[in-house]
Chain A
Amino acid sequence: MSPELQMYLAQGIHGLAYGMLLFLVASGLTLIFGMMGILNIAHASFFMLSAYLCVTVLNATGSYWLSLFLAPLGVALLGVLVERFMLRRAQASGLGHIAELLLTLGIALVMAEAIKLTWGTEGLQVMAPRSLAGLVNIGGLEYPIYRLFIIGLSLVVLAVLSLVLYRTRLGTIVRAAVSDPDMVSVLGVNTRRVFMLVFGLGTWMAGVAGVAAAPILTVFPGLADQMGMDAFVVVVVGGFGSLFGALVAALFLGELNAYGIQFIPKLSPVLMFAFMALVLAFKPTGLFGDRE
């Protein structure tokens, strides 16, 4: 392979890895929005918290695999508690979506400050586990195994998510509730319990992404803002409530980001937003959504 082709390939895989991470975060965001009508501003904070928990578990036990198991679980538990004891009350307040928006914004701010108090403001480095630390030769290109692992891990989560959504009764309920939660409760389903589960599932996926991303990003208090903005763009471009849309948009924006950095580094930070504006100009509901 020519060096030029190798560069294209490397950026392509880079983009794929980032796109899959984006999908893990954005899918929870879009599911929660579709079902509960809540734009969860704190969603990426769960992603960030998981990365920090990963640091702590890693320091305590030295096992990356244990932190991959524990950190997302802890974050999901927190997510379930937030839904059960805070969001539910905000929704019952009768103030409409503004109450939920303010609540999740507040949670995001509190989590950011709590993280600074606990872990400090310095950037922390996480090492990939030794078994995944090396390089692999792809047609002459030496490529880090860890990024391939991110892609594989995300694919496994995607497969499990699809199985649950398309092969179980719970999944049918979730897909129905994404378009019309009231009608689902008219049919005798306690949708509050389903909301809690989906909130937990969404934050768990954000948590998996947080641990997966920790070794390739610096773990610092601004992590949530960066990921949150990108995931928001993915949800808007893919269409609110559309999982398939989120997947397509995440992969596309991942690649756009990777090649953008390579070829027009000065413009790359605005490329995503320019693309979002372009999509919205022609299709206000996003690529695969039916809501404005």
Chain B
Amino acid sequence: MFFRASNLNTYYGLIHALQNISLNVERGEIVSLLGRNGMGKSTTLKSIMGLAPPQSGVIEFQGQSIFQAPCHKVARAGVGLVPQERRIFPHLTVEENLLMGVKAGCAPPKDLEPWSLKRVYKHFNSLERRSRNKGFQLSGGEQQMLAMGRALMGNPLLLLVDEPSEGLAPLLVREVRDVLLQVNQAGVSILLVEHNLKVAMSLAHRCYLLGKGFVAFEGSMAQLQARPDIMAKYLEVS
């Protein structure tokens, strides 16, 4: 198994945010996490990453346990995160932001072409022009591209992507979608939280649908579409 999380329980104080969540990702897959706001999608990603450590459960990545491992160890095992708020370093230049993604002393996986500044700039044209600008000077779309480029610089095998299309104009949403597809075709598995169902449908192979902290449905995108009752119950109608 490439990536497996089972029976994750995460608490925020007294709130039981994740209740026995189990999910897995195979090598090369794009898996999407769907559900309304506040159902625990972002918390799931944060729990995997070690930002919101789960109290109990199992997390295995390439046969190695990363349960309750500190964040930097999860990252160095080969997991990358593109966080929801992008979290660009505002006072660093675009180039410095990208270089922050490099994991010093960590060899890139053998079977993947390693990422470099040049390769990131090839995929994200707008960033090269802005390489000397500070993070806070970028538009929302550019920040999203930078957050993705920064994560890729660490040569992740599994990329956790949180709401990449949020707040972006339709043209940029398409660009984000295309980049994710290219990244996936280059061999990176993706676990995607996305509220834009059209984007999720067009990218993901499988999905997990979250109710309030639990997995309400799992299956292929086609299987989900065949269940309008479940979609009506657990997704925003839009």
Contact = CB atoms under 8 A, between A and B. Distances in A.
Given A175-B91, A179-B89, A179-B90, A190 B96 contact: no
B75 A176 contact: no
A180 B100 CA distance: 12
B231 interface: no
Given A172-B100, A173-B100, A175-B92, A187 B87 contact: no
Contacts of B71: 182, 185-186
Interface of A: 169, 172-173, 175-176, 178-180, 182-191, 290
Interface string B176-220: 000000000000000000000000000000000000000000000
B57 to A, nearest CB: 20
B99 interface: yes
A186 B89 contact: no
Contact of B83 (A169, A185, A186, A189): A186
A172 B96 contact: yes
Given A175-B91, A175-B92, A179-B91, A184 B100 contact: yes
Interface stretch (B22-30, B101-109, B118-126): B101-109
Nearest to A176: B89
B87 A172 contact: no
A183 B72 contact: no
Contact of A169 (B49, B104, B150): B104
Contacts of A173: 100
B70 interface: yes
B76 interface: yes
B35 interface: no
A187 B104 contact: no
B39 interface: no
Contact of A183 (B76, B87, B91, B104): B87
B58 interface: no
B103 to A, nearest CB: 4
Interface in B99-154: 99-101, 103-104, 106, 150-151, 154
Nearest to B97: A176
A184 to B, nearest CB: 7
A169 B92 CA distance: 12
Of the listed residues B81, B91, B92, B104, the one surrounded by the most CB atoms of chain A closer than 10 A to its CB is: B91
A128 to B, nearest CB: 39
A194 B100 CA distance: 14
